[in-house]
RNA sequence: GGCCCGUUGGUGAAGUGGACGAACACACCGCCCUUUCAAGGCGGCAUUCAGGGGUUCGAAUCCCCUACGGGUCACCA
């Protein structure tokens, strides 16, 4: 790969240069897949697809304390469930592996040795206390705290002396800036940082582990990353990275800092605002389609203004420059609306597949459901899916198909079971008519009811509402004849009789 | 505190000097459809783009200042 001598960054590639595009998503496994992280990953994925490039999944696990294997698995699972794939990474491998920073330690070591040999980095023996004191002093003077440069020009003898004391050094990058650092950001334009803001920052910790900045830049350079698309919180850190890339003799990638996602109270989204991870949303009954679609909508609008789209549909026209500059507020209400949309428009079999684990958990389906059980579940899902917003609500909405009616909705009783004797009599007549209905279909049950309603000279609702309450215990649900058909003749009549008994006991 | 980023309705947002007397979607409020609830249809919902100055024949769009919000200044990522 050639180096652009003066260029500090690569331009957004034209179609001809698409081959070169390489992006990465680099989560640290200190938690599950956060909704903000997901969106960043999605933007990376789209950019790679749009330009026919590659996306790599790298794991930034240099934080030994907080990195957990279970979190890694959770992240991987999340992507798998959402249908997001990577071209290279911890699972798929690739030519630039390993893809886990904890396995790349020799690479960082080598990079450090190179920098030290070139005089671009040096060991620093200052203690945390010394540094803290200097920081406080500078802050008190209203200045940006910067490393005072104590160990910058230590003689070999001085170094030996500190080593002899048993001090474990950190390594700092020697930063000498005579002009501002310009960060080329596709979303925000050129961002200029004054040179006096940067100091000799730590690149390798005293335990020998690289800092995030160092590991990240070494990896991005070695993995030939061309575009870094990441969260906005990194924008302020970017000058450090630019300086690092230069020191490493690597081309500086182009950046795109995507805005943060805020909670409804306009503060940073966190656990106290409810679900924030893909895993949690999954457990709440949200579909992958909705989660992906909604995440993308937070800060991105396609040129045609459409809001409902699949990930792949967005790829051909995806444009980083269209990403919003300002943070977006997460609105669960809209997510619910979108989830409801997918619940009723996705192929029924698909919805069934998503619902199956929920049905099993509720005890409505066995571990190994047979075809008949599946078919029944399918029909019931079809009947209620357009009136619920999540899978959890869906399971609740079909509950009375799977278990007897244990109670009648209170408001429903007040309204439709108001005159027990009269209602009981109507239901008795209805049960009697239904007993004679054969075959048991939407048309035949309705015909029987319509006839009875006409004979009694009452409104349809006067019979239908009590019937719904009797059959489901609820005041809302699928069409009443649909309900009867799904329940079956025997069960319909049984429930009608149970309601009649209940009413008589109260008459 | 320094530096950096941002600010269009309750929310997501379109908008890159004239078609803006500001699209679209969610939410909300009406009406219609209807056995219920949904879904769907129709209509309403920013006299104005954080505030103030400029530039211009003309500004939500360009410039400056102020306010507010956020990020960052770690041997966390």
Residue nearest to nucleotide B13 (CA to C1'): A301
pLDDT in tens, A236-288: 999 999 999 999 999 999 999 999 998 888 888 877 777 889 999 999 999 99
CA A320, C1' B18: Å apart?
A: 28
Residues A396 and A415 reside in one and the same domain: no
Domain carrying residue A374: 347-403
The per-residue pLDDT for range A195-228, each reduced to its tens digit, is: 888 899 999 999 999 999 999 999 999 999 999 9
Q: Which pLDDT score is estimated for A307?
A: 93
The pLDDT, as a whole number, for residue A494 is: 96
Is the pLDDT at A14 greater than 50, yes or no? no
The verdict on residue A435 lying in a domain is yes
For chain B, which bases have at least one atom within 7 A of a protein Cβ? 1-8, 10-16, 23-27, 35-40, 69-77
Q: Is residue A379 part of a domain?
A: yes
Same domain, A414 and A496: yes
Rounded average pLDDT over A16-43: 87
Query: A185 CA to B70 C1', in Å?
Result: 18
Q: Which residue is nearest to nucleotide B26 (CA to C1')?
A: A334
Instruction: Please report, rounded to whole angstroms, the spatial distance between the CA atom of protein residue A302 and the C1' atom of nucleotide B27.
Output: 22
Number of domains chain A contains: 2
pLDDT of A289 > 90? The answer is yes
A472 and A440 together in one domain: yes
Residue A146 pLDDT > 70: yes
Q: Does A491 lie in the same domain as A431?
A: yes
**In angstroms, rounded to a whole number, what is the distance separating the alpha carbons of residues A349 and A351?**
5
Same domain, A427 and A500: yes
- Closest protein residue to B40 (Cα–C1'): A386
Q: What is the mean pLDDT of residues A106-112?
A: 96
Check whether residue A391 and residue A438 sit in a common domain.
no
Which nucleotide is nearest, taking the CA of residue A328 and each C1'? B12
Indicate if A483 and A452 belong to the same structural domain: yes
Chain centre to alpha carbon of residue A64: 24
The verdict on A398 and A444 lying in the same domain is no
Say whether pLDDT at A18 is over 60: no
Asked which of A403, A423, A439 is the last residue of a domain, the reply is A403
Fill in the DSSP letter of residue A268. Answer: B
Whole-number pLDDT of residue A149: 85
A396 domain residue, yes or no: yes
Give the CATH number, domain containing residue A433.
Answer: 1.10.10.350
Task: Report percent pLDDT > 90 for chain A.
Answer: 76
* Residue A366 placed within a domain: yes
Q: What is the DSSP string of A467-502?
A: HHHHHHSSS--S-HHHHHHHH-HHHHHHHHHHHHHH
Nucleotide nearest to A125 (CA to C1'): B75
Q: Please tell me which residue in A271, A415, A418, A504 is annotated as part of the active site.
A: A271
Taking the C-alpha atoms of residue A9 and residue A220, their distance in angstroms, rounded to an integer, is: 13
Residue finishing a domain among A339, A370, A403? A403
Q: Contact, A92 vs A46, CB < 8 A?
A: no
**Over 90: is that where the pLDDT of A170 sits?**
yes
Q: Say whether both A415 and A483 belong to one domain.
A: yes
Q: Report helix, strand or coil for A251.
A: coil
CA of A461 to C1' of B37 (A): 14
Nearest nucleotide by C1' from A183 CA? B4
pLDDT score at A19: 56
Our measurement of CA A145 to C1' B73, in angstroms, reads 7
In a domain? residue A317? no
What is the structure's pLDDT at A455? 92
Position A263 scores a pLDDT of 86
Asked whether residue A396 falls in the same domain as residue A448, the answer is no
pLDDT of residue A219: 96
Look up the pTM and report it. Answer: 0.91
User: Rounded mean pLDDT of chain A?
Assistant: 90
Q: Is A271 a catalytic residue?
A: yes
Average pLDDT over residues A311-337: 93
Mean pLDDT check: name the lowest of A5-9, A190-194, A273-277: A5-9
Q: Would the CA dihedral through A284, A286, A291, A297 be positive or negative?
A: negative
Tokens (6 digits) for A479: 């069409």
For residue A287, give the nearest of A211, A225, A215, A345 by alpha carbon. A345
Nearest nt to the CA of A194 via C1' is: B3
Domain shared by A441 and A497, yes or no: yes
Q: Determine, yes or no, domain membership for A394.
A: yes
pLDDT for the residue A142: 66
CA A222/CA A214 separation, integer angstroms: 12
A271 is in an annotated binding site: yes
Confidence of residue A6 (pLDDT cuts 50, 70, 90): very low
């Amino acid at each position: 790969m050639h180096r652009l001598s003066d260029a500090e960054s690569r331009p957004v590639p034209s179609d001809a240069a698409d081959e070169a595009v390489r992006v990465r998503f680099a989560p640290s496994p200190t938690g599950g897949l956060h909704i903000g992280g997901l969106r960043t990953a999605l933007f990376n994925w789209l950019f790679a697809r749009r330009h026919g490039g590659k996306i790599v999944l790298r794991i930034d696990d240099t934080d030994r304390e907080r990195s957990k294997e279970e979190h890694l698995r959770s992240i991987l699972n999340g992507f798998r469930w959402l249908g997001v794939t990577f071209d290279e990474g911890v699972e798929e491998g690739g030519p630039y592996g390993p893809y886990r920073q904890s396995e790349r330690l020799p690479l960082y070591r080598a990079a450090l040795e190179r920098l030290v040999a070139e005089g671009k980095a040096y060991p620093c023996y200052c203690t945390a206390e010394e540094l803290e004191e200097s920081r406080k002093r500078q802050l008190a003077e209203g200045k940006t705290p910067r490393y005072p440069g104590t160990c910058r020009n230590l003689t070999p003898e001085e170094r030996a002396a500190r080593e002899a004391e048993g001090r474990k050094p950190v390594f700092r990058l020697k930063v000498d800036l005579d002009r501002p650092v310009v960060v080329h950001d596709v979303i925000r334009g050129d961002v200029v940082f004054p040179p006096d803001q940067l100091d000799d920052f730590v690149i390798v910790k005293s335990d020998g582990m690289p800092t995030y900045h160092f590991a990240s830049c070494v990896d991005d350079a070695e993995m030939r990353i061309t575009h870094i698309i990441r969260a906005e919180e990194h924008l302020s850190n970017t000058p450090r990275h630019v300086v690092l890339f230069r020191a490493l003799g690597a081309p500086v990638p182009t950046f795109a800092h995507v805005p943060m996602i805020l909670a409804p109270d306009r503060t940073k989204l966190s656990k106290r605002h409810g679900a924030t991870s893909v895993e949690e949303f999954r457990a709440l009954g949200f579909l992958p389609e909705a989660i992906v679609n909604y995440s993308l909508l937070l800060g991105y609008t396609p040129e045609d203004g459409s809001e409902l789209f699949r990930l792949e549909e967005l790829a051909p026209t995806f444009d980083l420059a269209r990403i919003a500059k300002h943070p977006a507020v997460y609105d669960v209400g809209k997510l619910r609306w979108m989830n409801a949309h997918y619940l009723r428009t996705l192929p029924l079999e698909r919805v069934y597949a998503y619902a199956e684990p929920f049905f099993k958990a509720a005890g409505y389906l066995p571990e190994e459901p047979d075809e008949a059980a599946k078919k029944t579940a399918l029909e019931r899902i079809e009947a209620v899916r357009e009136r619920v917003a999540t899978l959890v609500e869906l399971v609740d909405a079909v509950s009375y198909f799977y278990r007897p009616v244990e109670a009648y909705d209170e408001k429903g009783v007040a309204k439709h079971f108001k005159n027990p004797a009269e209602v009981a009599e109507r239901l008795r007549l209805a049960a009697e008519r239904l007993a004679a209905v054969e075959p048991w279909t939407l048309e035949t049950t309705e015909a029987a009811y319509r006839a009875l309603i006409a004979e009694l000279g009452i409104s349809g609702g006067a019979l239908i509402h009590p019937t719904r309450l009797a059959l489901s215990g609820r005041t809302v649900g699928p069409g009443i004849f649909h309900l009867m058909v799904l329940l079956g003749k025997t069960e319909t009549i049984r429930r009608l009789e149970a309601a009649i008994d209940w009413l008589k006991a109260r008459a």
